[in-house]
Amino acid sequence: MQRNSAWFHLPSLLFGAFLAAVGILLTQSFLGPTIVELSRPEEEQMLALVHRRLAEDYAIPQDPQWLMQRGVDGMIQSLEDPYSTFIGPEDMRRFHEDSSGMLVGIGVMMDGNGTVLYPQPGGNAEKLGLRPGDIFLSINGEDVRNEVMDQLRERLRGEPGSSVTLELQHVDGERTTVTIERGSVPTLTVGDVRLLDRESGIGHIHVRSFARSTIDEFDRAMLRLDEMGLRALVLDLRWNIGGQLDAAVDIASRFLPGGLICTLQSRVNGPSSRYGNAEDATHLGLPLVVLINEWSASGSEVLAAALRERGAAVLVGQRTYGKGVYQEVFDFPTGSFAIKFTAGYYLTPRGKILEDHLGDQFAGGLEPDLAVAHTPEEEASIKAWQGRNPPPQRYREEYERLFPVAANVAPPKDSSLEVAHRLLAEALPPQ
């Protein structure tokens, strides 16, 4: 009787399939990593070998993670680039807070001695009864009466959702203990907001930095000024060293009818242009002066250049810093660190490179249309004034009673602001 050929060869086929499967497993388990390793560039193989030798054979045991982080840090430092940085585990939280415009805490503003100036409206501290003038006695059971603001601030920060127990003394001497859950708290990237001249409606807004929260803060500030009769604006970018580019582009869009804001020139990806949205032009045609100084950098320079080159503003003050490069951030969660490195250049709408510090081939920075000199004393007093955080309306009376010196500080002499005010007053038509 003739046999079915397929059935006749079935044991051989099954055995062959078994050998093939074993071969695949052996390749994946043993040859795979070797093939992947050998396919890497030679320099990567050498770095991996150095790391392995030190982690396994160095006389004093070393943490492999720590060795890796130090190696990455060394590569970043070897670039000799002031803008490229290694962000270690201990700095990751602060880095994300700075870029988002939100920090994690309980929501209080303090003076240099650590006394509560006021709780931030809507925050957990306010909900649990903290008041202006409160003094911290202990935090999580540890005596902090001799600690100053920076020390207390670090104790109050932590992971979102975690809690901290505070022993406080109110102004009337009463002591209380509260447990507060930490949460996101805005860092207030928009500072001074006021009308310089109520008769002519000239306003002033100081933008301290650019974060994801900035455009919402800026829009609220503009709405307040509109309600007070805004007819012209001094946009103050002094001591603003940059931050999130999107925030700078968004602010430029409020004053421009769409169009080019800046171009990012990358060695790898070529040019990438950023445009404003014409629908976001809430204050198109508003007379505008931008204040700049030697610490106006990066996003501040992008914003100031776009407004001037597009015919929307005049620049007053001193020459800017000249940081015309942008960074990319790579976050390595498995290694608990990140790197921020220079990836390309900013170009203004007219094609000017703003960078002034990474080589003699560049002559960046922005020269003001009207240069104004300041004495060191005047600059120091202006910077201190701009660092203030005036209380919200609901705490103003209590704040002024408890902290009369801080509450009654008059704006300092500011030659640049005076020039800007005069320019706008002369440009405005009579009412």
Residues listed for the chain: 431
What is the model's pLDDT at position 360?
Answer: 66
Q: Is 293 exposed, middle or buried (0-12, 13-18, 19+ CB in 10 A)?
A: buried
Q: Residue 165's domain spans which residues?
A: 103-186
Q: Is residue 7 part of a domain?
A: no
Range with the poorest average pLDDT among 23-32, 91-100, 316-325: 23-32
CATH number of residue 124's parent domain: 2.30.42.10
Residues 180, 54 share a domain: no
Going by C-alpha positions, the residue among 343, 244, 261, 375 that lies closest to residue 298 is 244
Q: Is residue 352 part of a domain?
A: yes
Going by C-alpha positions, the residue among 275, 272, 358 that lies closest to residue 310 is 275
pLDDT at 101 over 90: no
- Rg of the chain over CA atoms, in angstroms? 29
pLDDT at 187 over 80: no
Residues 155, 58 share a domain: no
Three-state secondary structure along 120-143? CCCCHHHHCCCCCCCEEEEECCEE
CATH number of residue 409's parent domain: 3.90.226.10
What is the model's pLDDT at position 66?
Answer: 83
Residues 321, 273 share a domain: yes
Range with the poorest average pLDDT among 5-19, 185-199, 227-241: 5-19
Residues 207, 149 share a domain: no
Q: Which is it for the CA torsion 114, 115, 119, 123, positive or negative? A: positive
User: What number is the average pLDDT over the span 67-88?
Assistant: 85
Q: Is residue 61 part of a domain?
A: yes
What is the model's pLDDT at position 32?
Answer: 46
269 or 152, which is more confident: 152
Q: Which pTM does this prediction carry? A: 0.78
Query: In sequence order, what E strands does 80-215 have?
Result: 85-87, 102-105, 108-110, 116-119, 135-139, 142-143, 163-169, 175-181, 183-186, 190-197, 202-207
254 or 13, which is more confident: 254
Residues 153, 287 share a domain: no
pLDDT at 277 over 80: yes
Residues 390, 258 share a domain: yes
Q: Is residue 141 part of a domain?
A: yes
pLDDT at 185 over 80: no
Residues 260, 351 share a domain: yes
pLDDT at 26 over 70: no
- For the segment 125-143, what is each residue's pLDDT rounded down to a tens digit? 988 899 999 999 999 999 9
In sequence order, the β-bridge partners of residue 368 are none
**pLDDT category, 100, cuts 50, 70, 90?**
low
Residues 391, 288 share a domain: yes
- For the segment 283-327, what is each residue's pLDDT rounded down to a tens digit? 999 999 999 999 999 999 999 999 999 999 999 999 999 998 888
Q: Is 357 exposed, middle or buried (0-12, 13-18, 19+ CB in 10 A)?
A: middle
Chain centroid offset of residue 90 CA: 17
Range with the poorest average pLDDT among 33-47, 167-181, 354-368: 33-47
64 or 256, which is more confident: 256
User: What number is the average pLDDT over the span 182-211?
Assistant: 90
62 or 202, which is more confident: 202
Domain endpoint, select from 129, 157, 186: 186
Domain endpoint, select from 160, 186, 212: 186
Q: Is residue 20 part of a domain?
A: no
Q: Using the 8-state DSSP alphabet, how is residue 282 labeled?
A: T
Q: Is residue 2 part of a domain?
A: no
Residues 378, 270 share a domain: yes
Instruction: Please state the domain count of the chain.
Output: 3
Domain endpoint, select from 186, 206, 238: 186
Location of structure tokens 């030798």: 53
Q: Is residue 9 part of a domain?
A: no
Residues 72, 54 share a domain: yes
Residues 223, 175 share a domain: no
Q: Is residue 31 part of a domain?
A: no
What is the model's pLDDT at position 341?
Answer: 86
Residues 145, 121 share a domain: yes
How does the average pLDDT of the chain come out, rounded? 85
